[in-house]
A and B are shown apart, each in its own frame.
Chain A
Amino acid sequence: MELALLVNLLAAGVRSGTPILFATIGEIFSERAGVLNLGVEGMMLMGAMTAYGVAYGTGNPWLGVLAAMGIGGLLALLHAFVTVTLRADQVVSGLALTFLGTGLSAVLGAPLVEIRSAPRLPNFRIPFLADIPVLGPIFFDHNVVVYIGFLLIPLAWFYIYRTRPGLELRALGEYPAAADTLGINVIRQRYFYVILGGALAGLAGASLSLAITPLWVEGMTAGAGWIAVGLVIFAGWDPVRGAMGAYLFGAIRRLPLDAQNLTFFLKNPTLGYFMNMLPYLFTIIVLVISSREAMRRRAGAPAALGVPYVREERGA
């Protein structure tokens, strides 16, 4: 039954796209404020490891989620201090953060690898809605983090486009000097959104280790953080388009697993190798395309993205 397999694949796409979704929306906030944070992968890994450890230690997965968001925010605070206050290069600082997060999570998380019994976030089948054919299983029979993701999309969209602070956020990344002259505290707000981005990256990690693939192994994000960074550009810094991209990539990442059962692939076993390449291939393509300056401009990058804000001061 090929339809059942397709429904399966799409449901899996929504599920495994959820961590990417959190990370993407977090990065959208950070970049809208004018700060590029390439540390998403590192923050996600630290979030995943922390969440798993805290959930195991306390027996409460929600405390794990909180701790993950805290550690993500803390790492982002470091990035904000280095790039907003010290005005260092955002690319260098972000890469360093990814290295830091990857290494630190591997070291600190080593004892957790053997543990398979940390409590997970619950699954929840939404009554009635889940019974709708096709749509039901794709959207309404999931872990709770998936629903949190559903809620976050319109919330983020509304905040950015329809609220006063959202307007300030958009000005922050486009023309911080204008915001400054109007009495908006550019430095404080940039800190806020970078930290928010980090907290969401932490949440992304937690959703991975406590719900989507409930365990901890070193480097378990497998590039999801990088996909998020690239998706932000493809989405034109828009959370709704970012969400669609996240689910699409979720499906692509699931393809090697779920497609194995399709009769077409059973006849051509070598295709499996190609399918295994797909997620990585797409990650590389996304990053290559999105790293081109011209591409970013066309996609509508915030004009002041990557530029530290300095109030014009004279001096020696």
Chain B
Amino acid sequence: MSDSYALEMRQITKRFPGTLANDRVDFTAREGEIHALLGENGAGKSTLMNVLTGLYHPDEGEIYINGRRFRFNSPGDAIAAGVGMVHQHFMLVPNQTVAENVILGLRDVPFRLNGRRIEENVQAISEQYGLPIDPRAKIWQLSVGEQQRVEIIKVLYRGAQILILDEPTAVLTPQETQGFFATLDEMRRQGKTIIFISHKLDEVLSIADRITVLRHGANVATVDAAGMTKPELASLMVGRPVLFHIDKPECKPGEPRLLLDGISALDNKGLTALNRLSLTVRSGEIVGVAGVAGNGQRELAEVICGLRATTGGVIDIGQNNVADAPPIVVINAGVAYVPEDRGAVGTAPNLSVAENMALKAYRKPPIGSGLFMDRRLMREQAAELIKRFDISTPGPLTPVRKLSGGNLQKVILAREISSNPRVIIAAYPTRGLDIGATENVRNILVDERSNGTAILLISEDLDEIFALSDRIAVLYEGEVAGVVPGEQADRDAVGLMMAGETPEAETAPAVTTPHTEAAPS
């Protein structure tokens, strides 16, 4: 027994019908250590952590905490053993208070709740770890960053010694991330063991002490973070060398292709989602839309594509105002849409790859003629696209629901790009894709830009925005808080704008508000 490890997982194997999610994985973590767990989607990170938190029972393998063997039959057992997890999708009850969420599920709380005592305890923990929070606030009133604090307090309140953080920075602005890292440092100093799941290599290298990389369910390496480089980590994750640099030819913007002028719209709850938003995208340029999720990104994409009614403003796609025009008019005007929800909006899951690829082309010759479709031509064209976009599928007749996320996205891109669009609206095009597929999708977008297409790129991944965009528009509460040229963009300035703060005068030169933006030449 090696007692020096706070946590030792040995030879963990977990099978699901048809897949081997964890294949004899060894994983160890020390006291006072931040241990990053890296891996592509489907590499088995979540499964391993669900085993550790008692949600899944491993088919084989053993778990030791401080040298003592544990068998977890439920999440309650893992909590009792000092394991706590901060989930990526927060496990907070929205209409209950911070304090109520913190004590939920605890057995040693008296039958009759003593509100004040609980609030004081929560306050104490929040001060000890530098996690400011109002214990009486309801969860739905809190920002995402604050909700994350509640999650961490919840775990600490249970006396967790081992904390698992599942992609904790995915929802934070750069500034919030800095504050969050300070918290992690503090917890490390106090001797906690922290397991940090992420796919952001820069973050992992800056905060972690050791790194474990999973690939295809197996542990391929556990290394000290010091001395590792980004490309080394990436090739461990993917299993082959990865190029981080995107070859992007110089931007030669042409005529404006997409003009939004004073667009307003409501969200699904009837609240203002877009507030007199103005933006221009020109031929041959990628305009990145940055912003914290929920600041109007989804509504922006939907409004342009005719999927959401406007309450004011003009959308010009090189012809007339298409605001509130039906989607078919927008499509015919040359707008391609890569939607956020690939499974439900982007594709019809039970239709074949070939049918999904023809979902735009079927109306017109050569595939469509009157009531009929040339199915053989459809298959042939699909086969070509499968080759051109390097889609791995058993064949053109396979239902797309059987494809992985990356290949599904390539099917959508193949359909949209083969329609020779003038404008592409790409919403979160690489969300959830692994490194290989992400690289692919980004290259496809850059190629389209070289062909003179105007591209509006909505993404929550700031690295992606910075890598691809010629100009960056920051969205805050449905307005464009500022537009920054891509190559001079300053992360801090963008981060501040994402948080709704106007950049100060010193950082301002690179920023123009959309209304004073010089008309394209």
List A residues at the B interface (Cβ < 8 Å): 162-165, 167-168, 170-171, 174-175, 177-185, 300, 303, 311, 313-316
The contact sample of 26 A-B pairs, CB cut-off 8 A, is: A163-B112, A164-B111, A164-B112, A164-B113, A167-B100, A167-B104, A168-B104, A170-B93, A170-B96, A171-B104, A175-B92, A177-B91, A178-B93, A181-B55, A182-B75, A182-B76, A182-B104, A182-B106, A183-B75, A183-B76, A183-B77, A183-B79, A183-B105, A184-B76, A315-B18, A316-B17
Instruction: State whether A313 and B16 are in contact (beta carbons under 8 Å apart), knowing that A163-B111, A177-B91 are contacts in the complex.
Output: yes
CB distance from B222 to the nearest CB of A (A): 25
Contact A181 B85 (CB under 8 A): yes
- In chain B, positions 379-398 with a C-beta closer than 8 Å to chain A are none
Contact B112 A181 (CB under 8 A): no
List B residues at the A interface (Cβ < 8 Å): 16-19, 21, 53, 55, 74-77, 79-80, 85, 87, 91-96, 100-101, 103-106, 109-113, 154
Chain B at the A interface: mostly helix, strand, loop or mixed? loop
Q: Which of A177, A179, A185, A316 contacts B104 (CB 8 A)?
A: A179
Task: Please indicate the chain A residues that have their CB under 8 angstroms from the CB of B105 in the complex.
Answer: 168, 171, 179, 182-184
Contact A175 B55 (CB under 8 A): no
Contact A303 B94 (CB under 8 A): yes
Task: Give the tally of cross-chain contacts (CB within 8 A).
Answer: 81
Task: Please indicate the chain A residues that have their CB under 8 angstroms from the CB of B18 in the complex.
Answer: 315-316
Contact B94 A174 (CB under 8 A): yes
**Alpha-carbon distance A167/B19, docked complex (angstroms):** 38
**Alpha-carbon distance A177/B92, docked complex (angstroms):** 9
Task: Please indicate the chain B residues that have their CB under 8 angstroms from the CB of A177 in the complex.
Answer: 91
Q: Which of A162, A163, A167, A185 contacts B96 (CB 8 A)?
A: A167
Instruction: State whether A165 and B111 are in contact (beta carbons under 8 Å apart), knowing that A171-B104, A315-B16, A315-B18 are contacts in the complex.
Output: yes
**Alpha-carbon distance A111/B16, docked complex (angstroms):** 56
Instruction: State whether A175 and B87 are in contact (beta carbons under 8 Å apart), knowing that A164-B109, A164-B113, A183-B75 are contacts in the complex.
Output: no
Instruction: State whether A174 and B95 are in contact (beta carbons under 8 Å apart), knowing that A163-B112, A185-B74, A315-B16 are contacts in the complex.
Output: yes
Most chain A CB within 10 A, of B19, B79, B80, B96, is at: B96
CB distance from A188 to the nearest CB of B (A): 11
Contact A315 B96 (CB under 8 A): no
Contact B75 A178 (CB under 8 A): no
**Alpha-carbon distance A289/B28, docked complex (angstroms):** 57
Contacts A178-B93, A313-B16 supplied; 10 other A-B pairs, CB < 8 Å: A163-B112, A164-B110, A164-B111, A165-B111, A168-B104, A171-B96, A179-B104, A182-B104, A300-B95, A316-B18
Task: Please indicate the chain B residues that have their CB under 8 angstroms from the CB of A313 in the complex.
Answer: 16
Cβ-closest chain B residue relative to A303: B94
Contact A181 B21 (CB under 8 A): no
CB distance from B12 to the nearest CB of A (A): 16
Task: Please indicate the chain A residues that have their CB under 8 angstroms from the CB of B109 in the complex.
Answer: 164
Task: Please indicate the chain A residues that have their CB under 8 angstroms from the CB of B77 in the complex.
Answer: 183
Task: Please indicate the chain B residues that have their CB under 8 angstroms from the CB of A165 in the complex.
Answer: 111
**Alpha-carbon distance A190/B112, docked complex (angstroms):** 21
**Alpha-carbon distance A238/B109, docked complex (angstroms):** 24
Contact B104 A163 (CB under 8 A): no
Task: Please indicate the chain B residues that have their CB under 8 angstroms from the CB of A168 in the complex.
Answer: 104-105
Task: Please indicate the chain A residues that have their CB under 8 angstroms from the CB of B101 in the complex.
Answer: 178
CB distance from B41 to the nearest CB of A (A): 12
CB distance from B498 to the nearest CB of A (A): 27
**Alpha-carbon distance A177/B105, docked complex (angstroms):** 12
Q: Which of A167, A311, A315, A316 contacts B103 (CB 8 A)?
A: A167
**Alpha-carbon distance A183/B160, docked complex (angstroms):** 14
Contact A163 B93 (CB under 8 A): no
Contact A174 B96 (CB under 8 A): yes
Task: Please indicate the chain A residues that have their CB under 8 angstroms from the CB of B55 in the complex.
Answer: 180-181, 311
Task: Please indicate the chain A residues that have their CB under 8 angstroms from the CB of B91 in the complex.
Answer: 175, 177-178, 181-182
CB distance from B105 to the nearest CB of A (A): 3
Task: Please indicate the chain A residues that have their CB under 8 angstroms from the CB of B74 in the complex.
Answer: 183, 185
Which 8 pairs across A and B sit closest by C-beta, in order of nearness? A183-B76, A182-B105, A178-B91, A315-B17, A316-B17, A174-B93, A314-B16, A175-B93
CB distance from B234 to the nearest CB of A (A): 25
Contact A162 B113 (CB under 8 A): yes
Q: Which of B19, B92, B103, B106 contacts A178 (CB 8 A)?
A: B92
Task: Please indicate the chain A residues that have their CB under 8 angstroms from the CB of B110 in the complex.
Answer: 164
**Alpha-carbon distance A316/B17, docked complex (angstroms):** 6
Most chain A CB within 10 A, of B53, B79, B96, B105, is at: B105
**Alpha-carbon distance A178/B93, docked complex (angstroms):** 7
Task: Please indicate the chain B residues that have their CB under 8 angstroms from the CB of A316 in the complex.
Answer: 17-18
Contact B104 A178 (CB under 8 A): yes
CB distance from A294 to the nearest CB of B (A): 11
**Alpha-carbon distance A180/B76, docked complex (angstroms):** 9
Most chain A CB within 10 A, of B74, B91, B103, is at: B91
Most chain B CB within 10 A, of A163, A165, A300, is at: A163
Cβ-closest chain B residue relative to A170: B96
**Alpha-carbon distance A244/B104, docked complex (angstroms):** 30
Cβ-closest chain B residue relative to A158: B112
**Alpha-carbon distance A183/B55, docked complex (angstroms):** 9
**Alpha-carbon distance A183/B78, docked complex (angstroms):** 9
**Alpha-carbon distance A237/B94, docked complex (angstroms):** 16
Task: Please indicate the chain B residues that have their CB under 8 angstroms from the CB of A178 in the complex.
Answer: 91-93, 101, 104
Task: Please indicate the chain A residues that have their CB under 8 angstroms from the CB of B154 in the complex.
Answer: 182
Contact B96 A314 (CB under 8 A): no
Task: Please indicate the chain A residues that have their CB under 8 angstroms from the CB of B93 in the complex.
Answer: 170-171, 174-175, 178
CB distance from B11 to the nearest CB of A (A): 21
**Alpha-carbon distance A311/B55, docked complex (angstroms):** 8
CB distance from B68 to the nearest CB of A (A): 19
Cβ-closest chain B residue relative to A175: B93
CB distance from A33 to the nearest CB of B (A): 13
Task: Please indicate the chain A residues that have their CB under 8 angstroms from the CB of B111 in the complex.
Answer: 163-165
CB distance from B343 to the nearest CB of A (A): 15
Task: Please indicate the chain B residues that have their CB under 8 angstroms from the CB of A303 in the complex.
Answer: 94
CB distance from A301 to the nearest CB of B (A): 11
**Alpha-carbon distance A179/B91, docked complex (angstroms):** 8
Most chain A CB within 10 A, of B16, B93, B109, B112, is at: B93
